[in-house]
Chains A and B, each alone.
Chain A
Amino acid sequence: MVDLFKLTAHELHERLVNKDVSAVEITKALFNRIDAVEQDVRCYITQTRELALAQAQATDEKIQRGDEISPLAGIPGAIKDNMCTKGIKTTCASKMLEHFVPPYDATVVERLADANAVFLGKTNMDEFAMGSSTENSAFMQTRNPWNLETVPGGSSGGSAAAVAASTAIWSLGSDTGGSIRQPASFCGTVGLKPTYGRVSRFGLVAFASSLDQIGPITKDVTDCALVMNAISGHDLKDSTSIPGNVPDFTKSLVNDVKGLKIGLPREYFVAGMNPEVEKAVRNAVAQLEKMGAQCLEISMPHTEYALTTYYIIAPAEASSNLARYDGVGFGHRAQGEDIVSMYKKTRSEGFGPEVQRRIVLGTYALSSGYYDAYYLKALKVRTLIKQDFDKAFEKVDVLLTPTSPTPAFKAGDISDPLSMYLQDVCTLPINLAGVPALSMPCGYVDGLPIGLQIIGKPLGEETILRVAYTFEQNNDYYKCLAPLGEV
């Protein structure tokens, strides 16, 4: 019998419905897998085994009763540790929130619980989602299951690595500048950042509110559609949530790209890009062209400004969002004889260096005298970047680019902040424009996965999924699992 943990959600669902296995068996199989490899990969900050078993049990009872079960019912997954879970620690991988237990659930958590999904635990990340390697976690270093010397990417490194290591069937990540897609790319999984407003942010600990978006990380495109079905849709608690009905994303799982127009923005094939990465992406394009898609090179002239624009807007918003960590109502508190010294000590002890750097940068960008030169200027350039996308989508249905200019790098290799920021050069323009984008494997270099990024129009997730599904079904990448624990 095949190892259950190796299967996808839709494969496991079929076995549950056929009563080949029980949800408790699946969940225990995942526990065993975690026991076997977690010490090497280190994805989980918190494991919730009791809860997982109870949830699995509930689904088994449903099945016993002959009730219909939802596609994710009884399927174990993991949640990035920046989404609030009632009664379960939510740390953001920060000393600041090491002991924080939210009294409420994030909307996505509520929706997945309603779908009877099983929660294995909370995954490691860069502190407050600031980083591209998960090395900024205050607690531990997550490693890439494809090569334990390399990083899993970030900030949703724990979520991507868990799916790649088969210690979770699905997971949730959050993406502010590439934090779902880049780790998905590094770990050879499928990761989707939905359109801004598609998935409720309520309960997602804010990094940069106008850029943050929650999305799934899965083993294949079908599972991506299933998780999207569970978490998407209007939420009254999020004013920036898009009203209206959400399509059934599984309807987009069509193996056909005939007539679709695919754009290749030349600015994304940057200097310094690993040639193998470029080759793999161009191969993917050629394949899709053979299958009937029409490909054309286009230009998005403001792309080169995206990084700077992002590194003004995101830290500015973060400096305000992270002001609440002050030792008064929750979280870490240092002793101080008066309120100001308590604030300063608490924040300097509680936040790691990258978080502090961004707070200082963001505060500076908003401060009097610099607001117009930095923040306002960045908001205007953001408009131009968004217009690049609007114009591109007048000509094409989707854009294809690499997700990251390189495959996973070795832990400790990048220490200079600016070089680390360059990791996100292909992903963060998408957040600035608010459009959806998916990363999926499209090849390997030195045994490490390469990510293909498929970018869609606002609310164009269906087209993205169609292209992704077609590419996936005509290749074998999704069948390749990380070699972890096989030797």
Chain B
Amino acid sequence: MDYSVVIGLEVHAELKTKSKIFCGCSTQFGSDQNTNVCPVCLGLPGVLPVVNKRVVEFAIRAGLALNCEILPFSKFDRKNYYYPDLPKNYQTSQYDLPICVNGYLDIEVNGETKRIGITRIHMEEDAGKLVHSGNITNSNYALVDYNRTGVPLIEIVSEPDIRSAEEAKAYLEALKSILEYIDVSDCKMQEGSLRCDANVSLRENEQAPFGTRTELKNLNSFRAVQKGLEYEIVRQAEVLDEGGKIIQETRSWDETKGITLSLRNKEQAHDYRYFPEPDLVPLQVSAEWVEEIRQSLPELPNARKQRLMEAYGLSSYDAGVITASQAMANYFDVVVGHGADAKAAANWLMGEVSKVLNASNISITEFAVTPENLASMLELMQKGTISSKIAKTVFEEMVASGKDPATIVKEKGLQQISNEGEIVAIVEAVLAANPQSVADFKAGKDRALGFLVGQIMKQTKGRANPELVNKLLKERIN
């Protein structure tokens, strides 16, 4: 039968501070194992934590960007459990008084806007990394690297407002976009700086009480989030269809096999024994501090999208694609700022530019073509100096050499021929050489005109102004 899906996401984002949350060790990714460690993050006897102020700032930034209430009084707590990636065997986190609560994020799915509630955002320390010999089930030992221990995290917990795998993906994309905009996280899923766990359950209909949920882990990419959820939804539906019961448990997404596997039975209780962290004093966040941070926030994706739609008449889709990445939106603003036509700029960014970026797997900040040069190229097109066809040639050359378009056009002699006299001569020569086509056209075969245009373009190496060619051809034939 058809079930109604209920999903809530718990997203961990590593904050891009220079130092760790409770000590001065570097947060540098990819350092040699156990080199970014000190007595504090190794949890040696006698050490004490001191909170990194920027972590608190970043958490508040995220809270404001996600429309949260910033609690004026919040505190840290210890979450107690044994695992070798956790040197103290407790994680310093926030339990009953997280720094941000009651926010929301608007996402767009199939052209419709939907609001997903955000329950809370709290700060905590990351754990270390385990390297297993063989795989997790059959290895005889594990190796531990504590470099990541103490890297600051925020955990963003959504309300169970998400109703499909697609919505989950859209939520995660929108969240990533915001965290990048406000510059608090690199959000690189492949490096683990953005991680997502999902709680999934099914129920008979939208009004029915929530069913038993499973927690999905190891969703290491946007694709994995969608595929893992899709699989789990089908799996649960099959269990229910067969009259079975869903067991509350943690399941891991196996990317290669494309299935979810039970990790452990949650019943046997992770009793985390939270209690207030005695080594850290509470946080009192003043209204002034919140205001100061609010003032420093950049324009957020949704606002920026609205602006592009209103100012330039871009479609919701186009504006959404351009503003999904702040770097892309910034690029767009510079191109348009240099006088380029906004719609043409948008089309080029979503078309040729994105094609090049994807093919070479780079971000637009690393792109060889500066926004100023792209604007000049669009201007050349608009003025009729080059045709749209020639523009593609020029663009390729810009990508390859990084040269400005005017230089390329001049060097390669690619200026459009818009001089009537010059084109008339060619038109007459082509007409004289192709009497049959002229006759066909006169007989009503429109396709013949295309052939004649092609002949002229061939002779001018595509540089003849197409409008002028059309006009002159028709004049001469008639």
Contacts and interface: CB of A to CB of B under 8 A. Distances in A.
Interface of A: 82-84, 90, 92, 97, 100, 102-104, 106, 201-206, 208-210, 236-240, 316-317, 319-320, 323-324, 326, 328-330, 339-340, 343, 363, 366-368, 371, 375
B44 A103 contact: yes
Given A97-B45, A323-B88, A371-B273, 19 more contacts: A84-B46, A92-B45, A103-B39, A202-B46, A203-B47, A206-B45, A238-B48, A239-B51, A239-B281, A240-B48, A240-B281, A316-B275, A320-B78, A320-B80, A323-B82, A323-B90, A324-B45, A324-B87, A330-B44
Contact of A239 (B46, B49, B88): B49
B44 A329 contact: yes
A211 B51 CA distance: 21
B46 A106 contact: yes
Given A103-B39, A320-B90, A367-B273, A209 B279 contact: yes
Given A326-B89, A329-B42, A367-B271, A202 B48 contact: yes
B90 to A, nearest CB: 5
Interface of B: 39, 42-51, 78, 80, 82, 84, 87-90, 142, 144, 146, 269, 271, 273, 275, 278-281
**7 closest A-B pairs by CB:** A323-B89, A209-B278, A366-B273, A210-B278, A205-B45, A203-B46, A84-B46
A137 to B, nearest CB: 17
B45 A90 contact: yes
Nearest to B280: A239
Q: Which of B80, B146, B269 has the most CB of A within 10 A?
A: B80
Contacts of A236: 50
Contacts of A205: 45-46
Contact of B43 (A106, A324, A343, A371): A324
Contacts of A210: 278
Given A102-B45, A238-B48, A323-B89, A328 B144 contact: yes
A237 B45 contact: no
Given A324-B88, A366-B80, A239 B273 contact: no
B370 to A, nearest CB: 46
A102 B39 contact: yes
B contact face: mostly helix, strand, loop, or mixed: loop
A104 B84 CA distance: 23
A339 B85 CA distance: 12
Contacts of B278: 208-210, 240, 317
Contacts of B51: 239
Contacts of B275: 316-317, 320, 366, 371, 375
Contact of A326 (B45, B50, B82): B82
Contacts of B49: 239
Q: Which of A106, A317, A329, A368 has the most CB of B within 10 A?
A: A329
A90 B89 CA distance: 21
Contacts of A206: 45-46, 279
Q: Which of B42, B47, B50, B88 has the most CB of A within 10 A?
A: B47
Q: Which of A204, A205, A366 has the most CB of B within 10 A?
A: A366
A97 B90 CA distance: 20
Contacts of B44: 84, 102-104, 329-330
A455 B46 CA distance: 27
Nearest to A316: B275
A368 B275 CA distance: 11
Contacts of A84: 44-46
A69 B376 CA distance: 75
A324 B89 contact: yes
B263 to A, nearest CB: 15
A339 B42 CA distance: 18
A363 B250 CA distance: 24
Contacts of B43: 324, 329
Given A323-B88, A328-B84, A363-B273, A100 B45 contact: yes
Contact of A237 (B48, B88, B269, B280): B48
Contacts of B45: 84, 90, 92, 97, 100, 102, 205-206, 324, 330
Contacts of A239: 48-51, 279-281
A104 to B, nearest CB: 5
Contacts of A328: 84, 87, 144
Contacts of A102: 39, 44-46
A79 B45 CA distance: 16
Contacts of A343: 82
B154 to A, nearest CB: 20
A323 B46 contact: no
A93 to B, nearest CB: 13
Q: Which of B45, B46, B269 has the most CB of A within 10 A?
A: B45
Contacts of B88: 323-324
Contacts of A202: 46-48
A323 B48 contact: no
Nearest to A326: B89
7 contacts: A83-B46, A97-B45, A104-B39, A320-B90, A326-B82, A329-B42, A366-B273
A368 B267 CA distance: 13
Nearest to A83: B46
Contacts of A204: 46
Contacts of B144: 328
A112 to B, nearest CB: 16
A329 B48 contact: no
Nearest to A328: B84
A204 B279 CA distance: 12
Nearest to A342: B84
B132 to A, nearest CB: 12
Q: Which of B146, B269, B273 has the most CB of A within 10 A?
A: B273
A201 B89 contact: no
Nearest to B51: A239
Contacts of A367: 271, 273
Nearest to A375: B275
A201 B269 contact: no
A350 to B, nearest CB: 12
Contacts of B80: 319-320, 323, 366
A316 B144 CA distance: 28
A5 to B, nearest CB: 30
A201 B48 contact: yes
Contacts of A324: 43, 45, 87-89
Contacts of A329: 42-44, 87, 146
Nearest to A369: B271
Contacts of B269: 368
A39 to B, nearest CB: 29
Contacts of B281: 239-240
A175 to B, nearest CB: 16
